[in-house]
Amino acid sequence: MTAPAIVLVRPQLGENIGKAARAMLNFGLTDMRLVRPRDGWPNPAAGPAASGADIVLEKAKVFDSVPEAVADCPHVYATTVRKRGLVIPVVTPEVAAQEICGHAEGSAILFGAERSGLETEEVAIAQKILTVPINPDFRSLNLAQAVILVAYEWSKHQDLAVPTEGEPAEPRATQAQLEGLIVQMDEALDQAGYYFPPDRVPATRKTMRTILSKAGWSNREIQALRGMLRTLVNPRKR
């Protein structure tokens, strides 16, 4: 079992980053990843708001994109209150925590910007949507509150994780390996003229990504699929 990475996507205020760090450390999480923080990093406003969670801020890593931030994580969850038209399973923080505690590989949980949340393309990178069951008439949950809810559920279940008996499972493909497959599939479909009509291309690409992301491929399966695609695009001469 590996503790999940908390990925803050386009966070706006240093104070909110600091409060999120405090929420993380309250429950033993220290892997914070920042994607394009609005005011840059490091941010002097984060320290006082963290109230002593300096180790989280010191270890925080900055990335230019969500795929880069989760490249080493085979299991990615996106926090949002809306499915945004995506056919992705939706789980509660408790279910997500149970799953994360049962994974031997790394997991990441995405949190969007304070005002706008995650973009649809960012949610599509995840294998599952994580939604907090709050009052539908008042969905006002700030960034630190969302982080602390998820971190608390993880802390509740981490001691309940039971090692899997029998043969070890094949290593799960990382997000970077999955992205490689998606890019290769996209290029092959584009070359074959699959994307038509033009106004449907974004939706078709989104569907393709969702199909490939849901499968939970192993490292070996990704390699096999990419080999199949290469052969279909460039057949061997008989």
Higher pLDDT, 224 or 65: 65
* Lowest mean pLDDT, pick from 52-66, 70-84, 152-166: 152-166
Contact 130, 93 (CB under 8 A): yes
Average pLDDT over residues 206-222: 84
Share of the chain above pLDDT 90, in %: 54
- Residues 164-206 pLDDT 10s: 455 556 778 888 888 899 999 999 999 989 998 888 898 899 8
Residue 83 confidence (pLDDT): 64
pLDDT of residue 232: 87
Residue-level pLDDT at 86: 77
What is the pLDDT, as a whole number, of residue 164?
46
Domain 5-160 superfamily per CATH: SPOUT methyltransferase, trefoil knot domain (3.40.1280.10)
Q: Spell out a b/e string for 56-85, using b for 16 or more CB atoms within 10 Å of the CB, else e.
A: bbeebeebeebbbbbbebbbbbbbbeeebe
Q: Which residue has the tokens 């989280």?
A: 56
Q: What average pLDDT does this structure show over 136-148?
A: 87
| Model pLDDT for residues 77-127, shown as the tens digit of each residue | 999 877 666 788 999 999 999 999 888 889 999 999 988 889 999 999 999
Cβ neighbours of residue 72 closer than 8 Å, sequence gap 6 or more: 106, 174, 175, 176
Supply the pTM of this predicted model.
0.74
Rounded CA-CA distance 107/73 in Å is 5
CATH 3.40.1280.10 range(s) for the chain read 5-160
In this prediction, residue 84 carries a pLDDT of 61
Average pLDDT for the chain: 88
**Max CA pair span of the chain:** 68
For residue 26, pLDDT beyond 80 = yes
Residue 236 CB neighbour total at 10 angstroms: 5
- Residue 159's pLDDT band, with cuts at 50, 70 and 90, is low
Q: pLDDT value at position 9? A: 97
Residues, the chain: 238
The one-letter amino acid at 174: T
Q: Is the pLDDT reported for residue 132 higher than 80?
A: yes
Token readout for 65 is: 């994109």
